[in-house]
Amino acid sequence: MDALFHALADRTRRDIMRRTLAGEHSVSTLACKYDMSFAAVQKHVAVLEKAGLITKRRSGREQLASGDVTAVRSVASMLAELELLWRGRIARVDELIASDSTDSTNSTED
């Protein structure tokens, strides 16, 4: 999970994900889209690949990158589970605060 969040923490990598989910792109074509070196884009692609968010295949001299829709759905599912967990925790804290507030009000009335 850490590798996924690390991969998605960078704006350039999120943009590469967006592009590769829309269609297959060569790494050199991707590199032309950014104001950075080919090597820097290649490193971003490697981080995404290591996280399992994109796949690469060789076609002649080109390396073609594609976003992995299944992996993105898996990330969305994980985030939904975390959201439910945290919403439950927040609801419990709200209940405790409300209970404490009610107890304080009842104590001062006695």
CATH of 2-68, one of 3.30.1330.10, 1.10.10.10, 3.30.565.10, 2.10.109.10: 1.10.10.10
State the Cα–Cα distance between residues 56 and 1, nearest whole angstrom.
21
- Residues 2-15 pLDDT 10s: 888 899 999 999 99
pTM of the model: 0.76
- Residues 10-69 pLDDT 10s: 999 999 999 999 999 999 999 999 999 999 999 999 999 999 999 999 999 999 999 999
- DSSP per-residue string spanning 2-38: HHHHHHHTSHHHHHHHHHHHHS-EEHHHHHHTSSS-H
- Residues 60-69 pLDDT 10s: 999 999 999 9
The residue ranges of every structural domain in the chain are 2-68
State the Cα–Cα distance between residues 49 and 26, nearest whole angstrom.
14
